[in-house]
Amino acid sequence: MDYKKIEKKWQQKWEDTKLYSFDKNDLDNKKYIMEMFSYPSGANLHIGHWYNYGLSDTYARFSRMQGHNVFHPMGFDAFGLPAENYAIKTGIHPQDSTLKNIETMETQLKAMGATFDWDYEVKTCMPDYYKWTQWMFLKLFEKGLAYRKEAPVNWCNNCNTVLANEQVFDGCCERCDTEVERKSLTQWFFKITEYAEELLQDLDKLDWPSKTKMMQKNWIGKSVGGKVKFSIVDGDDFEVFTTRADTLHGCSYVVFAPEHPMINDFVTDDQKAEVEAYIKMASKATEIDRLSTTREKTGAFTGAYAINPINGRKVPIWISDYVLYTYGTGAVMAVPAHDERDFEFAQKYDLPIERVIEAKNEDEDDTLPYVGYGKLVNSEEFSGLPVEDGKKAILSKLNEMESGNFNTNYRLRDWLISRQRYWGTPIPIIHCEDCGTVPVPESDLPVLLPYDVEFNPDGTSPLAKHEEFSNAPCPKCGKMGKREADTMDTFLCSSWYFLRYADNKNTEAPFDKAIIDKMLPVDTYIGGAEHACMHLLYSRFFVKALRDMGYLNFDEPFMRLIHQGTILGPDGERMSKSRGNVVSPDSYVEKYGSDVFRMYLAFGFSYIEGGPWNDNGIKSIHKFLDRIGRLVDKGLDYTEESTTIGAKEKDIDYKLNYAIEKISHDLENFQFNTAVARLMELVNALYKYTDNNFNKEYFMGVIENLVKLLAPFAPHISEELWDKIGNEYSVFNASFPICDKSKMVQDTIVMILQINGKVRGKFEVDANISKEDVEKLVLEDANLNKHFKDLTVRKMIVVPGRIVNVVAN
């Protein structure tokens, strides 16, 4: 078969007949299947695209053939840094390169033969889309969920720009390798922390990989602890956050994060120089570095002392970057005997290490630092209490003393959404001298992103230099103000695109509530695991916030989540240009066509796991498809007289239904490789069947089912074969075979005979035979009882349908 010709032909027909159009009038029967949309890069589709999109398309086709009204849209995550960096390098405007890349990718995705309904496409860089991203911002702003504050950000002194956390590698700028500094700038934030508890609780509702749920859980990082109030000798009070109030008697010093604004108030003149030098040095480390447990602890003594509220003891105040300013209260009570970081720090700076917890039972090793949950010692009246009771007792004593209280803390931070970049959605805000931060009225949206902008990075937001954009009248008082020049993090564009898909042409609203309440949540979402704590969390936040504002009626965006694995280079390493191990799909597709390539990806890897690339199996898939083609011909060309239906057909019935059952199960679970293996077994059995004369009518019935089973994997070839056997267009309007269980009961089964646990023979019995009859048969049948004729039978154990074990001596 000329696969490439077949592909062109059917792709054309699918397009002409709008085969994959979603039926808007049948929303009750919808099934929303989507993949994470694509970033429009200039290169051709890589193996990852084929793997992600090709195989989820197999799933979408299967669902469609099962009778679902499948909604399978595609779009482009089109704003962002790569296009801007490419522009800085080449001078090609990001808009021009992006739109061109989108066009190329659309063509390529169509050539893959995927069932996307392009009528629902979204492109995040188009005004008809980002108008509504701006609308989202305004709604969050109105609700108090978007706010502006000064915050430390990653700053590159060479590129003169803020960098996202993901752009910082080992503390250095990804572009120029300059050491990144922390700098305080006024930034926009979304208050995702307001939803921390619900984001945590609702994970239980989701059919997601447990590892991903665990990652979100840890990222949200709930811990229940208390705040304890200390006072500074001759100074103000401050609070520390602790989950181990029971260890308060062992606090031998306290530590402030270097960014803590109080430090200035209490640092002594003697220590000022050292403290300032340390603060400067610490500002270079990223939060990720600071959280590292292996990094050597550093710090400086402030010269000041604090009073431990539980016993009035005077303890020194240090600063160190192992304490984060943004977590808890930004200050900790250090208990070196029972905390590893404190222990390390105390050893280095020779601070007292005093045990206040000891193991409850003697077998437990409690050498210091002991972080276990034993009982309190050296803790005045609290000594002897188990840790949990000690915590409560100490906190309630402090409460009486008004020095402490219970409190829940989350590691999750508010989401920093502003970027000092050009190629993104403008933030719809005008700064007015008199009125302050004024939102652009909804009727003035979109705030268009101007084209003629100088976007070479020089430390200021590119949009600020565009006079026409920048100067705008205040919507409140009319006085000239300045437009917000920062753009939005592109993760904002992708936090709601699955909502827009459902109603992408709406010009009045981002979407119609009635429509999306029916079409959402997404039933199955397929994409990479690397998005666990960003996109997948942000989208959940958006849905919850929109729900609370009354724009939709569900709690979660993605009910089921599948992560495809990664295809690695042949060397087992991640494919990358610099390693030179990138395998391009192009030559394979050129040589074998899209069906063979897709089916090979299905067969050669476990979808969820991926693995190193090899093309060993691709030829055999090619042969396999040819073989199916010949099998169909064998049936069509058969001119001998048909045999009568009998045992052979019964056997094929069994194998066909077995294949149907397994393949359906495997497809539902994204286990494509085993599904293809079942298909191969079936084809082998059918070849055997046609070795001798057969029943043509019966055989063509089986072939029809075979083609349907093949269709999700090799859509073009199946459509061609479907047509060839004289069926009405299209195989994708036909229903996927359903397993007929009655055909799967075999009349006879083979049982194994064991004597004292050793296999001695096999025998065939009626499938429905009773235990008693099996025993009788074994005792009476000469062929069977000969194995134990010289022994006395003591016992007979029958495992129905499988084994008889005769115990004899």
Footprint on this chain of Zn ion (rule: CB under 5 A): 432, 434-435, 474, 476-477
Which amino acid, residue 527? G
Three-class HEC string of 131-189: HHHHHHHHHHHHCCCEEEEEEEEEEECCCCEEECHHHEECCEECCCCCEEEEEEEEEEE
Selected binder of ligand ANZ within 241, 422, 605, 788 (CB under 6 A): 241
Selected binder of ligand ANZ within 11, 154, 242, 308 (CB under 6 A): 242
409 binds, among Zn ion, ligand ANZ, none (CB under 5 to 8 A by kind): ligand ANZ
Nearer to Zn ion, 472 or 520 (CB): 472
Q: Could you tell me which of 370, 375, 248 has the C-alpha nearest to residue 313?
A: 248
Q: Which residues is 501 bridged to in the sheet? A: none
Q: How far is the CB of 201 from ligand ANZ (least distance, A)?
A: 18
Q: Could you tell me which of 396, 500, 404 has the C-alpha nearest to residue 120?
A: 500
Nearer to ligand ANZ, 124 or 409 (CB): 409
Nearer to ligand ANZ, 296 or 691 (CB): 296
Site membership for ligand ANZ, residue 333 (CB under 6 A): yes
Nearer to ligand ANZ, 335 or 778 (CB): 335
806 binds, among ligand ANZ, Zn ion, none (CB under 5 to 8 A by kind): none
- The stretch near ligand ANZ (CB under 6 A) out of 173-181, 328-336, 643-651, 732-740 is 328-336
Q: How far is the CB of 758 from ligand ANZ (least distance, A)?
A: 58
Secondary structure (DSSP) of 41-97? -SSPP-HHHIIIIIHHHHHHHHHHHTT-EEE---EE---SHHHHHHHHHH---HHHH
Structure tokens belonging to residue 793: 């039978």
Q: Is the dihedral of CA 262, 265, 269, 270 positive or negative?
A: negative
For residues 337 and 256, what is the distance between their CA atoms, to the nearest angstrom? Answer: 19
Centroid of chain to Cα 559? 12
C-alpha radius of gyration, the chain, whole number:
34
Selected binder of ligand ANZ within 64, 244, 466, 535 (CB under 6 A): 244
Burial of 529 (0-12, 13-18, 19+ CB in 10 A): middle
- The stretch near ligand ANZ (CB under 6 A) out of 162-170, 240-248, 436-444, 712-720 is 240-248
Place of tokens 């995040």: 124
Which amino acid, residue 211? K
- Binding mask 382-411 toward ligand ANZ (x if CB under 6 A, else -) reads ---------------------------x--
- The stretch near ligand ANZ (CB under 6 A) out of 329-337, 607-615, 762-770, 788-796 is 329-337
Q: How far is the CB of 246 from ligand ANZ (least distance, A)?
A: 8
Q: How far is the CB of 476 from Zn ion (least distance, A)?
A: 4
Task: State how far the alpha carbon of 87 is from the alpha carbons of 34, 425, 457, in Å.
Answer: 31, 17, 11
Site membership for ligand ANZ, residue 286 (CB under 6 A): no
Number of neighbouring beta carbons within 10 Å of residue 809? 8
Nearer to ligand ANZ, 391 or 655 (CB): 391
Site membership for ligand ANZ, residue 335 (CB under 6 A): yes
Task: State how far the alpha carbon of 315 is from the alpha carbons of 233, 518, 798, in Å.
Answer: 10, 61, 76
Q: Could you tell me which of 489, 498, 487, 551 has the C-alpha nearest to residue 524?
A: 498
Site membership for ligand ANZ, residue 338 (CB under 6 A): yes
Nearer to ligand ANZ, 257 or 267 (CB): 257
Q: How far is the CB of 250 from ligand ANZ (least distance, A)?
A: 7
Selected binder of ligand ANZ within 158, 160, 201, 243 (CB under 6 A): 243
Site membership for ligand ANZ, residue 256 (CB under 6 A): no
Q: How far is the CB of 238 from ligand ANZ (least distance, A)?
A: 12
- The stretch near ligand ANZ (CB under 6 A) out of 205-213, 241-249, 746-754, 766-774 is 241-249
Selected binder of ligand ANZ within 120, 327, 455, 736 (CB under 6 A): 327
- The stretch near ligand ANZ (CB under 6 A) out of 239-247, 274-282, 450-458, 505-513 is 239-247
For residues 356 and 358, what is the distance between their CA atoms, to the nearest angstrom? Answer: 7
Nearer to ligand ANZ, 326 or 460 (CB): 326
Site membership for ligand ANZ, residue 292 (CB under 6 A): no
Nearer to ligand ANZ, 75 or 226 (CB): 226
Selected binder of ligand ANZ within 35, 77, 106, 339 (CB under 6 A): 339
Q: How far is the CB of 251 from ligand ANZ (least distance, A)?
A: 7
User: Total residues contacting ligand ANZ (rule CB under 6 A)?
Assistant: 19
Number of neighbouring beta carbons within 10 Å of residue 575? 21
Nearer to ligand ANZ, 297 or 421 (CB): 297
Footprint (CB under 6 A) of ligand ANZ, residues 401-460: 409
**Backbone phi, then psi, for 763, in 5-degree steps?**
-150, 155
- The stretch near ligand ANZ (CB under 6 A) out of 319-327, 487-495, 681-689, 784-792 is 319-327
Nearer to ligand ANZ, 13 or 341 (CB): 341
242 binds, among Zn ion, ligand ANZ, none (CB under 5 to 8 A by kind): ligand ANZ
Q: How far is the CB of 490 from ligand ANZ (least distance, A)?
A: 30
Place of tokens 């609203």: 509
Q: How far is the CB of 151 from ligand ANZ (least distance, A)?
A: 15
For residues 561 and 207, the answer to whether their CB atoms sit within 8 Å is yes
434 binds, among Zn ion, ligand ANZ, none (CB under 5 to 8 A by kind): Zn ion
Q: Could you tell me which of 399, 405, 385 has the C-alpha nearest to residue 242?
A: 405
For residues 331 and 753, what is the distance between their CA atoms, to the nearest angstrom? Answer: 74
Nearer to ligand ANZ, 323 or 417 (CB): 323
Nearer to Zn ion, 83 or 474 (CB): 474
At residue 306, the 3 state secondary structure works out as: strand
Number of neighbouring beta carbons within 10 Å of residue 374? 19
Structure tokens belonging to residue 317: 């105040």
- The stretch near ligand ANZ (CB under 6 A) out of 140-148, 326-334, 497-505, 533-541 is 326-334
Nearer to ligand ANZ, 384 or 478 (CB): 384
**Backbone phi, then psi, for 771, in 5-degree steps?**
-55, -45
Strand residue runs (E) in 505-648: 522-526, 558-562, 566-568, 610-612
Q: H or E stretch including 760?
A: strand 758-766
575 binds, among Zn ion, ligand ANZ, none (CB under 5 to 8 A by kind): none
Structure tokens belonging to residue 573: 């390493």
Nearer to ligand ANZ, 243 or 693 (CB): 243
Structure tokens belonging to residue 671: 């286990």
Selected binder of ligand ANZ within 330, 390, 446, 712 (CB under 6 A): 330
Site membership for ligand ANZ, residue 524 (CB under 6 A): no
Q: How far is the CB of 148 from Zn ion (least distance, A)?
A: 16
Q: Could you tell me which of 744, 748, 599 has the C-alpha nearest to residue 660?
A: 744
For residues 81 and 159, the answer to whether their CB atoms sit within 8 Å is no
For residues 363 and 342, what is the distance between their CA atoms, to the nearest angstrom? Answer: 25
Site membership for ligand ANZ, residue 332 (CB under 6 A): yes
Q: Could you tell me which of 330, 295, 335 has the C-alpha nearest to residue 315?
A: 335
At residue 472, the 3 state secondary structure works out as: strand
Selected binder of ligand ANZ within 55, 125, 323, 398 (CB under 6 A): 323
432 binds, among ligand ANZ, Zn ion, none (CB under 5 to 8 A by kind): Zn ion
Number of neighbouring beta carbons within 10 Å of residue 208? 21
Residues of this chain that interact with ligand ANZ (CB under 6 A) are 223, 225, 241-244, 247, 257, 323-324, 327-328, 330, 332-333, 335, 338-339, 409
